[in-house]
Amino acid sequence: MKNISVGISGIGSYVPDRVLTNYNLAQMVETNNEWIVERTGIEQRRIADTNQTASDLATQAAIKALEDANTTPEEIDLIIVATATPDHTFPSTASLVQAKLNATKAAAFDMSVGCTGFVYGIATGANFISSGMYKKVLVIGSEVLSKIVNWEDRNTCVLFGDGAGAVVLEACEDGYGILSCELGSDGKEGNVLIVPAGGSKLPASEDTVKDKLHSIQMEGREVFKFAVRIMEKASLVAIEKANLELEDLDFLVPHQANIRIIDSALKKLKLSRDKACINLNKYGNMSSASIPVALDEAVKDGRVRKGDNLVLVAFGAGLTWGSLVIKWNKEGMDD
């Protein structure tokens, strides 16, 4: 299907310094550490400073990914930023990142696919390269969800955190890199995970602010049922498309939303927890940033090695889902 094999040549991540623990949250809303950990697996999350934006976090992650890829900003042909928390309605956050990096020849655009955004971004960027149009694409997932959370809603405010992860995509040796991709959407269920106001349907007004309609609203039970079903399905479809078997899989890199969802996917894919990249206990749900941050940590600590078969799988607002199979093409420090 692809003319050129495309892989990840560099990866980096950034999370804000401020830590918000479950014990801190218990001082803000009616909740406690045991309740949160039992139901979600989350122990703490990172919170951006008041003046930090999605483009700020994205730029920090991008700098690290570029360094890891031994690439300069001037070599980047395209910047894709997946975010549900852009700096502005427009210009795009990707354009702001382009300016901050001084990536003078790069085209730039955002993707609004919620927590699935990074997987969509990888799939899109890879196709620009495999077609021969571009050589190097920077894909970033960046979120400051703390700024659109209703801190009085204990069902949602305990879940989310801020952070960013980035990768550089470019051609790699045949047989490595992105082997398959599966993307999907069910817009009929879009209302179960939504920020109702701020767009053209409900423009900002005194009432929308008073009613907290600019904050995340979620029907948790419906999202949970969808996630458990789609994580397995999307993973299996991508594995089949890659002409692999379940036993060929080395690591699952799942969206970090809830440990029960991840454990369900692992059970159905016949993988143990040590074969999953899990860090939601430290960061919570960082939406589009969760997969690249988890992958970056697994690569940096030597768990992911060249030749490993990875499945990246996510679900998010839309409702959307996406999965990728990647044969890791990058040499590790010990390889």
Q: Are the C-beta atoms of 254 and 275 separated by less than 8 Å?
A: no
For residue 115, indicate whether it is catalytic.
Answer: yes
For residue 157, indicate whether it is catalytic.
Answer: no
Q: Give phi and psi for 134, each to the nearest 5.
A: -130, 160
Q: Are the C-beta atoms of 323 and 235 separated by less than 8 Å?
A: yes
For residue 127, indicate whether it is catalytic.
Answer: no
**3-state SS, residue 139:** strand
**Packing angle between helix 117-130 and helix 290-300, nearest 10 degrees?**
70
Distance CA 310, CA 239 (A): 9
Pull the structure tokens for residue 150: 């209703």
* Annotated active-site residue in 22, 157, 172, 255: 255
**Number of residues written out for the chain:** 335
CA nearest neighbour of 129 among 166, 170, 94? 170
* Annotated active-site residue in 22, 115, 279, 329: 115
Distance CA 106, CA 102 (A): 9
Active site members: 115, 255, 285
